């Protein structure tokens, strides 16, 4: 599975960004997809994840209430809409994929994912 993240950039505090992750490869629709982020000097952390059925989304506390994760009907593109951005949201944002036979399970840890995109930088500053 290949993952290509895009949409990062610079935004002022309070602004919004929409990240996209294009997934390609065999049976990508059977992969759980997730968004993670990593700031300098910090561990990679979950932003949120969506089951491969697309029916359920889990949001980590870091951006809960300020973000929306969605997956297109073909299940090959993952989106992360981020609103009310704060300087502490500055990080590299990565999309990740894990093949699974469980259409309803959430995977919350980076080590549970098998494939990673290259990341896209999000900078929030005035």
**Tens digit of each residue's pLDDT (9 = 90 or more) over 37-63:** 999 999 999 999 998 777 799 999 989
CA distance linking residue 103 with residue 52, whole number of Å: 6
Contact 7, 20 (CB under 8 A): yes
- For the cut 80, the answer to whether the pLDDT of residue 85 exceeds it is yes
CA distance 3 to 95: 7
Per-residue pLDDT tens digits for 60-81: 998 999 999 998 877 789 999 9
Mean pLDDT along residues 19-30 = 82
Tens digits of per-residue pLDDT, 90-104? 999 999 999 888 888
Cβ-count burial 44-77 (b if 16+ within 10 Å, e if not): bbbbbbbbbebeeebbbeebeeebebebeeebbb
Residue of higher predicted confidence among 104 and 3 = 3
CA proximity to 47, closest of 10, 6, 78: 78
pLDDT at 101: 84
Report strand pairing: 77-82 vs 17-24: antiparallel
Tell me, what's the pLDDT at 24?
86
- Tell me: pLDDT of 119 over 90: yes
- Report which of 2, 113, 122 is spatially closest to residue 48, judged by C-alpha positions: 113
Q: What is the mean pLDDT of the chain?
A: 92
Return the pLDDT at 33.
Answer: 92
Backbone angles phi, psi at 95, to 5 degrees: -105, 150
């Amino acid at each position: 599975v290949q993952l290509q993240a895009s949409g990062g950039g610079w935004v002022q505090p309070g602004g919004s960004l929409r990240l996209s992750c294009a997934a390609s490869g065999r049976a990508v629709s059977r992969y759980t997809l997730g968004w993670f982020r990593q700031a300098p000097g910090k561990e990679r952390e979950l932003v949120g994840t969506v089951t491969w059925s697309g029916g359920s989304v889990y949001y980590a506390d870091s951006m809960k209430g300020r973000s929306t994760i969605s997956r297109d009907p073909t299940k090959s593109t993952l989106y992360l809409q981020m609103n009310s951005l704060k300087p502490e949201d500055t990080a590299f944002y990565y999309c990740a994929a894990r093949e699974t036979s469980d259409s309803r399970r959430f995977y919350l840890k980076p080590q549970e994912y098998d494939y990673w995109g290259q990341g896209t930088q999000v900078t929030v500053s005035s």
